[in-house]
C-alpha cells in the first residue's frame, strides 16, 4: 500500500558498522538514496565499500561539521554500547568518550531534521546508573521539541531469527507527521527457524578443539537446562568461567563482538562467520571479509535485519507525507 507512494527516502547512518539498515531497505525493495555513513573501524569501512555506495563515508563523527550535512528522511545510529553494557562492570555511560558520541548524533538530528530517526543500543542502557543515563538521553531527545519519542526493548528471537538478542530501540517521528499515539512498535511473530536451519550442515567438517574448561562449561550449562548434548544446544564458551550466559536449544545466545566461540553440541563445532551473519539476517549475497574472526566481530556489533524490517514496515506511512523543515544554519549553532 505505502510502497507505491514512496518516491525516494534520503538516508544517513552513523556508527554504521556493516550497514544493517541499508541492507534492510534493499531487502524490502524500498527506494532510497544513501547520502552518508560514518564508521571509525577501517575494516567495517572496507565492508561498506564492498556492499554499498554512500555518497560520503565519514571516519569520525566528532570531526565533521554537522551543518554541512544534507537534510534526511531517515537517520539511524547504533552509538557505541560498551559504556552501557551490563557485562562491563566499569561502564561509565555518558561519561565514557564512546558514550558521548550520542550527543553528536543529537547534533546531527538538529541539522538533518529527518522525518524519522532510530537509535539502537544494548538493553543495559535502560537500567544504567539506576535509569539516570537513559533519562538524560530521553531528555535530550525531547529537547529537540520537534519529535514524538518512543522506546521499547525488541528481541531478535521475536522476529523469526533464532538469536536471543534484546535491544532498546528509540524512535523519533516528526510532530508534523504524527500524533503522539499514532506509532506502535511491531508485534512479535512466531519463531519458525532453528539455528540448524541456518547452519552449513553439508560443508566439510570443521576441526574443533575444546579446552577442558570449555567442555565443563558446556556440560554444566546443558545440565542446568536438563537437556542432552545430542540436541542442538548453542553455548557461548568464549568466556573463561562458567556462569556466563546459558545454553539454548536451537536458539543462539546473544552474539557479541568480543565473543567468537559459540558451540553447537549436536554438530560438535563452533558456528562460523557466515552463520553469525545469517543469525543477524544478512543474505547470502552479502560480501564479507575473508577474516573469520573480524567478520564475527562485525556481526556481533550489528543491528538485526529482521527487527529492522518489521520496524521499517511500521514506519512506512511517515515517509509518504511532506513536512517543511527549518534550515540548520538558522536553527542550530555549535
Grid-cell match 540448524, residue found:
196
- pLDDT value for 92: 54
**For residue 86, pLDDT beyond 90:** no
Contact 272, 295 (CB under 8 A): no
In whole angstroms, what is the distance from residue 85 CA to residue 300 CA? 14
Q: Round the average pLDDT of the chain to a whole number and report it.
A: 89
pLDDT in tens, 251-260: 999 999 888 9
Which comes out higher in pLDDT, residue 246 or 151? Answer: 151
* Partners of 61 in the β-ladder: none
19-23, 89-93, 289-293 — which is least confidently predicted?
89-93
C-alpha 179/C-alpha 159 separation (Å) is 26
Model pLDDT for residues 152-207, shown as the tens digit of each residue: 999 999 999 999 999 999 999 999 998 888 899 999 999 999 999 999 998 776 77
CA dist., res. 232 & res. 127, Å (int): 33
pLDDT at 334: 40
Least trusted range by pLDDT, from 77-91, 117-131, 195-209, 314-328: 77-91
CA-to-CA dists, residue 1 to 4, 7, 138, 170, 185, angstroms: 6, 13, 33, 25, 19
- Output the furthest CA–CA distance in the chain (Å, rounded): 65
- Would you say residue 91 has pLDDT above 60? no
What pLDDT score was predicted for residue 79? 84
Strand partners, 174: 147
* Global pTM exceeds 0.85: yes
Residue 254 annotated to the active site:
no
Q: How far is CA 23 from CA 36, 100, 136, 168, 284, in A?
A: 14, 27, 31, 20, 12
Tens of pLDDT, residue by residue over 223-272, are 999 999 999 999 999 865 555 578 999 999 999 988 899 999 999 999 99
**What b/e readout covers 139-172, taking b as 16+ CB neighbours within 10 angstroms?**
ebbeebebbbbbbeebbbbbbbbbbbbebbbbbb
**What is the rounded CA–CA span in Å between residue 42 and residue 113?**
28
- Report the pLDDT value the prediction gives residue 326, as an integer from 0 to 100: 57
Which listed CATH number (3.40.50.720, 3.40.120.10, 3.30.70.270, 3.40.50.150) goes with 3-189+302-322?
Answer: 3.40.50.150
Residue 88 corresponds to which cell in the numbers above?
562491563
Check if the beta carbon of residue 37 is closer than 8 Å to that of residue 48. yes
| Greater pLDDT, 197 or 130 | 197
The pLDDT of residue 139 is above 90: yes
- Can you say how many angstroms the Cα of residue 140 is from the centroid of all Cα atoms in its chain? 21
Indicate whether 96 pLDDT > 70: no
What are the two backbone dihedrals, phi and then psi, of residue 180, each rounded to the nearest 5 degrees? -60, -25
More confident residue, 88 or 139: 139
Q: How confident is the model at residue 325 (pLDDT cuts 50, 70, 90)?
A: low
Q: In angstroms, rounded to a whole number, what is the distance separating the alpha carbons of residues 123 and 4?
A: 35
Rounded to whole angstroms, the Cα distance separating 17 from 57 reads 12
pLDDT at 97: 55
Q: What is the mean pLDDT of residues 6-29?
A: 95
Whether 66 has a pLDDT exceeding 90, the answer reads yes
The per-residue pLDDT for 330 is 41
The percent of residues in the chain predicted with pLDDT above 90, rounded, is: 75
> In the chain, where are the structural domains located?
3-189+302-322, 195-299
> Which residue among 15, 44, 81, 111 is the active-site one?
81
Q: What is the pLDDT of residue 333?
A: 40
The answer to whether 267 and 234 have CB atoms below 8 angstroms apart is: no
pLDDT tens-place string over residues 45-54: 999 999 999 9
Amino acid at each position: 500500500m505505502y510502497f507505491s507512494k514512496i518516491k525516494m527516502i534520503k538516508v544517513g547512518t552513523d556508527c554504521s558498522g556493516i550497514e544493517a539498515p541499508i541492507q534492510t531497505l534493499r531487502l524490502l525493495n524500498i527506494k532510497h538514496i544513501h547520502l552518508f555513513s560514518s564508521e571509525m573501524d577501517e575494516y567495517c569501512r572496507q565492508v561498506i565499500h564492498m556492499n554499498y555506495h554512500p555518497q560520503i563515508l565519514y571516519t569520525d563523527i566528532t570531526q565533521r561539521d554537522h551543518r554541512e550535512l544534507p537534510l534526511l528522511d531517515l537517520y539511524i545510529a547504533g552509538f557505541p554500547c560498551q559504556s552501557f553494557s551490563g557485562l562491563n562492570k566499569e561502564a561509565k555511560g555518558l561519561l565514557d568518550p564512546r558514550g558521548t558520541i550520542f550527543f553528536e548524533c543529537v547534533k546531527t538530528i538538529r541539522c538533518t531534521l529527518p522525518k524519522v530517526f532510530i537509535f539502537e543500543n544494548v538493553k543495559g542502557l535502560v537500567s544504567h546508573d539506576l535509569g539516570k543515563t537513559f533519562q538524560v538521553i530521553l531528555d535530550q531527545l525531547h529537547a529537540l521539541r520537534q519529535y514524538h519519542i518512543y522506546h521499547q526493548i525488541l528481541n531478535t528471537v521475536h522476529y523469526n531469527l533464532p538469536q536471543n538478542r534484546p535491544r532498546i530501540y528509540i524512535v523519533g517521528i516528526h510532530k508534523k507527521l504524527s500524533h503522539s499515539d499514532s506509532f506502535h512498535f511491531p508485534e512479535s511473530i512466531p519463531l519458525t527457524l532453528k539455528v540448524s536451519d541456518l547452519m552449513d550442515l553439508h560443508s566439510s567438517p570443521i576441526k574443533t578443539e575444546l579446552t577442558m574448561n570449555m567442555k565443563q562449561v558446556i556440560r554444566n550449562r546443558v545440565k542446568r537446562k536438563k537437556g542432552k548434548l545430542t540436541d542442538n544446544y548453542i553455548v557461548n564458551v568464549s568466556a573463561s568461567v562458567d556462569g556466563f550466559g546459558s545454553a539454548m536449544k536451537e536458539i543462539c545466545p546473544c552474539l557479541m563482538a568480543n565473543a567468537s566461540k559459540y558451540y553447537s553440541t549436536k554438530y560438535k563445532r563452533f558456528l562460523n562467520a557466515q552463520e553469525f551473519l545469517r543469525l543477524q539476517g544478512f543474505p547470502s549475497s552479502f560480501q564479507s571479509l575473508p577474516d573469520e574472526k573480524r567478520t564475527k566481530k562485525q556481526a556481533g556489533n550489528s543491528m538485526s535485519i529482521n527487527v529492522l524490517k518489521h520496524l521499517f514496515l511500521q514506519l512506512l506511512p511517515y515517509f509518504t507525507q511532506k513536512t517543511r523543515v527549518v534550515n540548520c544554519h538558522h536553527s542550530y549553532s555549535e
